[in-house]
Structure 1
Amino acid sequence: MEKPKVLVFGNFGYNHNELCGQTVKTRNVYELLKNKETRYFSEVAFFDTDSLNTNRLGLFQGLYHVIKADELFYLPATKNLAYIFPFIFILSKLFSTKIHFIVLGGWLGEYLENRPLYRKMFLKIDWIYPETDALCQCLESDFGLKKVKRLNNFRDTNFSPALKSTGKNIKLVFMARVHPLKGVETLFKLSQRLEGSNLKNVTIDMYGPIFEEYKEEFNALLNTANKNITYRGVLQPNEIYPVLSQYDMMLFPTQYYTEGFPGSILDAYISGTPVIASNWLYAPEFVDHTSGAVVDFNDENAFLNKVIELVNKPLLIDSLKQGARAKSYEFSSDKAWEVIKSCLFFNKQ
């Protein structure tokens, strides 16, 4: 049988060099499939929806690629799903393109709830890959979807340096989109609490792209902040693991309840950095007492208290670093490929 042509359709962020959870995952899926091209596929192409921000007519080129593909790996956010997916769905049925819908985050169940037309289309998608068991169960039990298989967020890396023991100076890190819903303002309150508790040995560094509409407010917070908290810009992909491995704990006080599996937490685990997180919808699937700590959702005081508790227990932090590294092995590219390979259409022939 002739090897299939594959298309990865989603936001790669190449047009604006945008690095976020969505673009990193989309690039990782493409790289995984591209690495298998010679053996399994005749071609692995991609279409970057970021290009549509400067060239709307480019969508016709993207849809043409859909027609030519045998297997489509589709990674949309909500806007893409609302405006582009109906065209992709119709073309996939007309030209026998198999759709592999890779879910970004944990919002899909909520999105489908009041959209009966989309639910009907989703019943005819070839495979749907959520990041969490809870969302898999939701899609199967609430919407009757049959072709659902969990696909963990993953990384292709061999990074595995010796873990750094926690010293007298404790370094905390936040790496995500700088947005109020990511709990950024909790970090500034933590800075004040550390200062008030006379914990002069603890610092907080923030990395990530700043949400455009939040820049003015965020800069105002920085201008009046204590010296123990610093914004350090955006890390490039080759910088992430060497930088994160220098920190003792990652802070993830998200206020976005339907997070999926944030890539920053996976990056922390690979770097041997435990995570303190608020209890978003899927948090217990990814963070536990062996790899960090989870505190009640939207309980800012509980989050601050947990951080203070842990910075006073460096030996416990060292133990959590071991647990974080062990946790990372669940999210390898090899395991992701096992899931995808089992669902490829040509394997069923």
Structure 2
Amino acid sequence: MSKSKFCVIGNFSRNNAFDGQTIKTLEIVDRLGEIYGKENIRECNYREIKHSKLKLFKAFFNAFHKSEKILVLANNTGVMNLIKVCTLINKIFGRDIYFILVGAALMDTVKEEPASLGILKQLKHIIVETETLKKDLLDCGLERVTVFPNFKKLRHFKTDELSTEYEKPLKLIYMSRIMDLKGFSEMIRELKRINEHSVKYVLDIYGKIEPEFKEEFEALKKDFPEYIVYHGLADAWQTSEIMHECFLHLFPTKCPTEGQPASIIDAFFAGLPTLSARWDYYADMLREGETAVSFERCNFDEFREKLEYYYDHPEEIARMRVFCSKEAEKYLPETVMNDLVKVLES
């Protein structure tokens, strides 16, 4: 059997693309298939085998044996274990390994596990989502680090398609995983405070409920007023169409190491500004007063104050829509994939 040009090791779930990691993996595989031919792209889904060391080793061994180059897509959860297995197997095969990081927590791993630097140096290339993380990794002694933005194939609402007039109550949208680390409970609490005397905002919620948060979510949901509606999971490739009639996208994360959140890219394509917590890499992705307005991470009093202010000044949000639509051009698949191909062919 002839070798595939690439094997992509990652989380695959074509029927249920719930999270940014899965969506990014599927997008890259689909685009590589368009460029090189589907027959040249092999998939290795570690989601289903990651809890069995034997199955994981066998699957990775097979991937290296039957492919010329290896792409590993992973977030920071257990990432070094995957990389260790890959570099161990690669002592036999000598393949080029490209590590595409989802999120931006790799520096935490490097600081906590100094030995990880030696393992990372064995990779052909490390591909990250932000310039700040690239600089931090280069400063640690890594040499082959490239920025590769997140991207999605979505309907792109151009500037002449954007409404700048809003009916009250104003519509907010949350489109992320539903979990404590995303600031979900605090978001609900503060919205109720804002609407205590009159309904100023309505909120549409989309996203996967993380198992560890399900009990708390169900308790919150029982007390949802009529102006808060959970719609379940959004079609990952129709998100901009869902978002585009809204007033603001909410991203109240408490996590400091977000990379390039997919929901913010969705909002760019919808021409929709974001009210966001300032995570560590906020400024790598968003521009204050143009594509987003922000609050100090975990300061939900400030979150509430910003919503109250922009309810009275909606024109300030309206003028930002054109900047968001233009920002989406950075995340078009054809733009981003050209840069990735250059790295893979170098």
> TM-score with structure 2 length normalisation?
0.92
Task: Tell me the amino acid that sits aligned with residue 19 of structure 2.
Answer: C
Counterpart residue type for residue 127 of structure 1: H
Which has the higher mean CA deviation after the structures are superposed, 2-11 or 247-256?
2-11
Shift of 1:125: 0.9
Aligned-pair distance for 1:80?
4.3
CA contact (8 A) 2:24 2:150 kept: yes
Matches within 5 A, 1:100-179: 100-141=98-139, 143-160=140-157, 162-169=161-168, 170-179=170-179
Q: 1:51 aligns with which of 48, 57, 65?
A: 48
Alignment correspondent of 1:76:
74
Map 1:243-322 → 2, pairs under 5 A: 243-288=242-287, 289-322=289-322
C-alpha distance in 2 between matches for 1:273 and 1:238: 16
Q: CA deviation at 1:51?
A: 2.1
Change (3 A) 1:110 1:56: closer
Distance 1:145 1:135 in 2: 12
Are 1:328 and 2:328 matched, yes or no?
Answer: yes
User: Residue in 2 aligned with 1:217?
Assistant: 216
Unaligned runs of 5+ residues in structure 1 are none
Deviations 1:117-151 (A, max 9, x none): 3210111211111101110011010x200000100
- 1:173 aligns to what SS in structure 2? strand
Q: Offset of 1:343 from its aligned partner?
A: 1.5
Q: What is the identity, as a one-letter code, of the residue corresponding to 1:305?
A: E
Deviations 1:170-219 (A, max 9, x none): 11000100001101012212321221352x24201111000111111111
Give secondary structure in 1 for the equivalent of 2:148. Answer: coil
Distance 1:42 1:212, change over 3 A: closer
Q: Which amino acid aligns with 1:273?
A: L
Q: Which deviates the most, 183-192 or 81-90?
A: 81-90
Contact 1:70 1:96 in 2 (8 A): no
Aligned length: 340
Counterpart in the other structure of 2:16: 17
User: Does structure 1 conserve the Cα–Cα contact (< 8 Å) formed by 2:4 and 2:66?
Assistant: no
CA contact (8 A) 1:205 1:229 kept: yes
Secondary structure of 2:118 counterpart:
helix
Q: 2:9·2:73 contact (CA, 8 Å) conserved in 1?
A: yes
Counterpart AA for 1:189 = R
Report the Cα offset of residue 64 of structure 1. Answer: 0.7
The answer (yes or no) to whether the contact 1:66–1:92 under 8 Å persists in 2 is yes
| Residues 22-72 of structure 1, C-alpha deviations (whole Å, 9 max, x = no match) | 11111111112111014xx96111111122169775421343112322111
How far is 1:266 from its partner? 0.4
Amino acid at match of 1:235: A
- Aligned-pair CA distance for 1:332: 1.7
Question: How many percent of aligned residue pairs carry the same amino acid?
Answer: 23
| Alignment match, 2:227 | 228
Measure the CA separation in 2 of the matches of 1:118 and 1:186.
Answer: 36
Report if aligned partners of 2:251, 2:275 keep a CA contact under 8 Å in 1: yes
Normalised to the residue count of structure 1, the TM-score between the two structures is 0.91
Aligned-pair CA distance for 1:232:
1.2
Contact 2:277 2:298 in 1 (8 A): yes
Q: State the distance in 2 between where 1:3 and 1:335 align.
A: 28
Aligned to 1:97: 95
**Cα RMSD, aligned residues only:** 2.2
Q: Contact between 1:159 and 1:270, CA under 8 Å: does it hold in 2? A: yes
Q: Tell me the distance in 1 between the aligned counterparts of 2:339 and 2:112.
A: 30
What secondary structure, in the 3-state scheme, does the structure 1 residue paired with 2:146 have?
coil
Please state how far the C-alpha of 1:76 moved relative to its aligned partner: 2.0
Q: Distance in 1 between the 2:17 and 2:155 partners?
A: 24
How many Å separate the matches in 2 of 1:332 and 1:247? 22
